[in-house]
């Protein structure tokens, strides 16, 4: 997984407003565990989601990127932040809710890594706790392979993003940020991010023994399938 060394300072500007995701998470929690008091985010990045959820919850974030966590510490000072690999972390607490959003799970480049992450989630959830996450589907990642580059300009800087298929069901997201220095001079930040496409059936089968599926939904409300774009899952922890 990438450490977002060059991307961190631009991440929030490129990703934009996260209020829709915060509203979605709050709705899931209100519907399925209204008494929740604690939340852990895996791959918390700059802390934008934690900041939106912190007013009602005690929040903790795990991320492997020191650069992202440094921004998160300023964004949400109330959060406990831990630098760790989200597929192999160990904390002394159990949480009412664990989230992994913005296709962060896809960044784990092997399905074996997904399985160890699922085990860590089960170990760190309170009985009856919620595991909420989303994924880019295998179908969407394949479609992006033939899509034109994404281009944006902000604050005098330029970002160019391309997605191309790589080996072993991986997609390579190459993000090049041209940071304006002065005049016509730019500094290049080149971030290579791999995402793994996994059939939805594999995900459901891997979670079925230790979690109860409560909800699954596509981003646009269409029927859930491997051809959808982004899929949201809500699972409940089952005691071992």
Q: What is the pLDDT of residues 119-152, one digit of tens each?
A: 999 999 999 999 999 999 999 999 999 899 999 9
Q: Is the pLDDT of residue 1 over 80?
A: no
Say if residues 116 and 202 touch (Cβ distance below 8 Å).
Answer: no
pLDDT of residue 216: 98
pLDDT of residue 4: 66
Residue 63 to residues 38, 46, 48, 79, 113, Cα–Cα distance (Å): 18, 9, 13, 13, 15
> Order of strands across the sheet with 58-63?
80-83, 58-63, 38-42, 95-100, 125-136, 230-237, 211-218
Q: Is the pLDDT of residue 96 over 60?
A: yes
Worst-scoring range by mean pLDDT, 32-41, 80-89, 154-163? 154-163
pLDDT of residue 16: 81
pLDDT of residue 186: 93
Structure tokens at 219: 């981003």
Collect all residues with Cβ–Cβ distance below 8 Å to 177 and sequence separation of at least 6: 6, 7, 10, 157, 158, 159, 188, 189, 191
Say if residues 180 and 157 touch (Cβ distance below 8 Å).
Answer: yes
Give the architecture (CATH level 2) of 8-138+198-237.
Answer: 3-Layer(aba) Sandwich (3.40)
Q: DSSP 3-state assignment of 203?
A: helix
The pTM is what? Answer: 0.94
In the chain, % of residues over pLDDT 70: 98
What whole-number distance in Å separates Cα of residue 159 and Cα of residue 223? 33
Averaged pLDDT, 178-189: 90
The CATH class given to the 143-196 domain equals: mainly beta
CA atoms within 13 A on the CB side of 161: 16
What whole-number distance in Å separates Cα of residue 68 and Cα of residue 92? 23
| Chain CA centroid to CA 81, Å | 16
Which pLDDT tens digit goes with each residue over 187-238? 998 989 999 999 999 999 999 999 999 999 999 999 999 999 999 999 999 9
Q: What is the overall mean pLDDT for the chain?
A: 94
The domains of the chain are located at: 8-138+198-237, 143-196
| Chain CA centroid to CA 76, Å | 17
């Amino acid at each position: 997984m990438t450490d977002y060394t060059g991307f961190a300072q631009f991440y929030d500007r490129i990703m934009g407003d996260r209020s829709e995701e915060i509203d979605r998470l709050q709705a899931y929690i209100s519907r399925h565990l209204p008494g929740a008091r604690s939340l852990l985010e895996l791959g918390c990045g700059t802390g934008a989601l934690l900041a939106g959820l912190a007013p009602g919850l005690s929040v903790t974030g795990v991320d492997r990127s020191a650069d992202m966590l440094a921004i998160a510490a300023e964004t949400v000072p109330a959060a406990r932040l831990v630098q760790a690999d989200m597929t192999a972390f160990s904390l002394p607490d159990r949480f009412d809710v664990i989230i992994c959003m913005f296709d962060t799970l896809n960044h784990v480049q092997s399905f074996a890594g997904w399985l160890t992450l699922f085990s860590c989630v089960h170990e760190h959830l309170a009985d009856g706790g919620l595991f909420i996450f989303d994924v880019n589907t295998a179908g969407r990642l394949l479609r992006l392979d033939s899509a034109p580059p994404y281009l944006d300009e902000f604050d005098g800087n330029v970002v160019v993003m391309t997605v191309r298929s790589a080996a072993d069901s991986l997609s390579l997201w190459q993000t090049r940020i041209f940071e304006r220095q002065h005049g016509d001079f730019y500094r290049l930040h080149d971030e290579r991010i791999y995402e793994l496409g996994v059939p939805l059936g594999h995900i459901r089968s891997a979670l079925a023994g230790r979690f109860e599926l409560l909800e699954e939904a596509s981003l646009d409300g269409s029927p859930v399938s491997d051809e959808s774009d982004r899929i949201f899952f809500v699972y409940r922890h089952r005691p071992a």
